[in-house]
Amino acid sequence: MKSEKRPLSKQELFADTPVPRALYLMAVPTIISQMINLIYNMVDAFFIGRTGNSYMMAATSLTLTLVMMNVALSNLFGIGGGSLVARLMGSGKPENARKVSAFSIYGAAAVAVLYALMIGLFTDPLLRFLGASDATIGYARSYTVIVIVMGCLPAILSQTLAHLLRNAGFSGQASIGLSAGGILNVLLDPLFMFVLLPKGQEVTGAAIATTISNTLACLYLLNAYRKASGEAPLSFSPRRACTITKPDIRALFTVGVPSALLTGLFDVASICVNIIASAHSDLVLAGMGIVLKVERIPNAVNIGICQGMLPIVAYNYASGNHARMRETIRTARKAGLVIAILSIAFFELSANVCTRLFLNTAAGDPETTVITLGFAALFLRIRCIASPVQFTNYHASFCMQAMGQGKRTLLHAFVRELVFYIPLMFLLDRIFGETGLAAALPAGETCGALFALYLLSRCVREAQAGAARGGI
């Protein structure tokens, strides 16, 4: 019987396997983990929607921005450290990679504790700033305290560990950990919401189920990381974490900070959406909240493609195989654009069906439910048009991160959100109302994508020039 390949031989996958197959092997587990991770955020909304309570739905829409900040913070050390680990593997520096991985874990834990403390100290003022009304703040407070203040550490550590495992070639283990947590959340949500806690405490039940699921997923990933560290350049060692070199710290933050800011700025844009929507009414906010969850489905697939692509691009960039690097970039781009175009067709045809999944018309107040769903279907049909250009932004950003182009990634993030999307959001809402608010996404993402393609083309040309001079 053939023995299994050692995990470290995943370097063969990065360097020699035909690009479409290599991307398939790396991206499919990552897409699965992205989809399951999405369940963490969507399953609570789905079960809360069974109550037919639009105000509970509005409250979870407000807290989603705080939950997604976990992703931004995990990217700081997960993508920053993970992409550097892949480049160090490509450069033949496994000990440096071990130091980087250990530093990333302890750094992520420290950031998680600080974030939880900050949210805990300023919960009510922060929720009011995000648009919470007297009708929604109680629900929002309960969810925030349990999921963010109490559950932040396992949530951020899980994402960071998954990034490190994936970039070392253990995409399957990362996927299993996140997937198991998501499946557990699906099972625990109805138990806590409708069986163990009394009526009216559904939001609290969803929060408890999510925190338990995140904690168990984190424990699994810690064990998977421990096993992988025996064969791959990964480490838990505090000594290694403390002896990381200053150049490696700079290289980690050069990619990690822009990646975190990219996600953080996306979160800031979502906060602006919530503030503007809540100024119209709680029902507009609830409708937009449904759409922000539904549209994450194709986004999760495309981010999974980009995350699967990143270590292959990073490895071949560092090893000097720029022809393979460019082929990987092109293959991932084609796959993502196909998914994006298909998602437009699907959402335009089934907007009503998709949005009704998140709010039960047979429960609660029928009038507010129908109004909320009308807003949601309208917003979804408008915002889904942005899918291809939104993928183009993700793709270019991940490519630049893989090449260590932190400054350009950061520039793209700022221009995309602060120069294009957020100003267009306020402008179009002022001119066209809530319809203009929805239309700001395709308009802003199109402008951002054009700028991203310009930056990426410059990065690729410079990489080729550097290789020709023998500088890379």
Q: What is the pLDDT of residues 338-352, one digit of tens each?
A: 999 999 999 999 988
Domain boundaries, the chain: 7-469
Residue 390 is classified by DSSP as: H
- Which has the closest alpha carbon to 344: 385, 294, 392, 295? 385
Q: Is the pLDDT score of 278 beyond 90?
A: no
Residue 440 or residue 38, greater confidence: 440
Section 174-178 average pLDDT: 79
pLDDT score for 361: 64
301 has pLDDT over 90: no
Most confident of 89-98, 102-111, 192-201, 356-365: 102-111
Backbone angles phi, psi at 236, to 5 degrees: -100, -10
Q: Bigger pLDDT: 374 or 92?
A: 374
Tokens of 335: 């796959």
Do 185 and 213 form a contact (C-beta atoms < 8 A)? yes
22 pLDDT more than 80: yes
- Mean pLDDT of the residues in the chain: 83
Residue 314: is its pLDDT beyond 50? yes
Which residues make Cβ contacts (< 8 Å) with residue 11, sequence separation at least 6? Answer: 89, 90, 169, 315
Question: Which pLDDT score, from 0 to 100, does residue 259 have?
Answer: 75
- The alpha carbon of residue 131 and the mean position of all alpha carbons in its chain are separated, in whole angstroms, by 23
**Pairwise CA distance, residues 173 & 5, whole Å:** 15
pLDDT for the residue numbered 1: 39
Q: pLDDT-derived band of residue 362, with 50, 70 and 90 as boundaries?
A: low
Q: Which residue has the higher pLDDT, 76 or 3?
A: 76
Per-residue model confidence (pLDDT) at position 82: 83
pLDDT digits (tens, 9 = 90+) for 421-449: 999 999 999 999 999 999 999 999 999 99
| Residue 236: alpha-carbon gap to chain centroid | 24
Q: How far is C-alpha 289 from the chain's CA centre?
A: 17
Between CA 282 and CA 171 the distance in angstroms is: 41
Place of tokens 């405490």: 201
Question: What confidence tier does 472 reach under pLDDT thresholds 50, 70, 90?
Answer: very low
Whether 392 has a pLDDT exceeding 50, the answer reads yes
Which DSSP category does 400 fall into?
H
Predicted structure pTM score? 0.70
pLDDT at 280 over 80: yes
Whether 2 shows a pLDDT value over 60: the answer reads no
- CB proximity list for 81: less than 8 A, separation 6 or greater: 100, 101, 103, 104, 107, 160, 163, 164, 252, 256
Please report, to the nearest 10 degrees, the dihedral formed by the alpha carbons of residues 239, 245, 248, 249 taken in order. Answer: 80
Q: Per-residue confidence at 6, pLDDT binned at 50, 70, 90?
A: very low
* Close Cβ partners of 247 (under 8 Å, ≥ 6 residues apart): none
- Whether pLDDT at 96 is above 70: yes
pLDDT bracket for residue 471 (50, 70, 90)? very low
The model's pLDDT over 58-92, given as tens digits with 9 standing for 90+, comes to 777 778 778 878 888 888 888 888 888 877 877 77
Collapsed DSSP state (helix, strand, coil) of residue 105? helix
Is 267:359 a contact under the CB 8 Å cutoff?
no
**pLDDT (0 to 100) of residue 335:** 92
* Count of H-run helices and E-run strands, the chain: 19, 0
Q: What average pLDDT does the segment 47-62 reach?
A: 74
Identify the residue with better confidence: 203 or 362: 203
Q: Which conformational region is residue 404 in: left (phi greater than 0), alpha (psi within -120 to 50 degrees), or beta?
A: left
Q: pLDDT: is 305 or 34 the higher one? A: 305
SS3 content of the chain, % helix, strand, coil (to 5): 85, 0, 15
Q: Give every CB contact of residue 175 below 8 A, 6+ residues apart in sequence.
A: 29, 30, 32, 33, 36, 162
Percent of the chain residues past pLDDT 70, beyond the cut: 93
**392 alpha carbon, distance to own chain's centre:** 16
Separation between Cα atoms, residue 53 and residue 200, nearest integer Å: 10
**Pick from 64-68, 95-99, 217-221, 250-254: least confident:** 64-68
Handedness of CA 79, 84, 90, 94 (dihedral sign): negative
What is the pLDDT at residue 421? 94
Q: Which of 157, 173, 274 is nearest to 216 (CA)?
A: 157
Q: Checking phi first, is residue 31 left (phi over 0); if not, alpha (psi -120 to 50) or beta? A: alpha
pLDDT-based confidence at 282, cuts 50/70/90? Answer: confident
For residues 48 and 329, give the distance between their C-alpha atoms in angstroms, rounded to a whole number: 40
Could you read off the pLDDT of 119-160 as tens digits, one per residue? 999 988 988 888 777 888 888 888 899 988 998 999 899 989
Pull the structure tokens for residue 429: 């809402």
Q: How many CB atoms lie within 10 A of CB 128?
A: 14
CB within 8 Å of 227: residues ≥ 6 apart: none
Separation CA 252–CA 84 (nearest Å)? 6
User: What one-character-per-residue DSSP string does 226-256 give?
Assistant: HHHTTTSS----HHHHHT--HHHHHHHHHHH
Model pLDDT, residue 364: 59
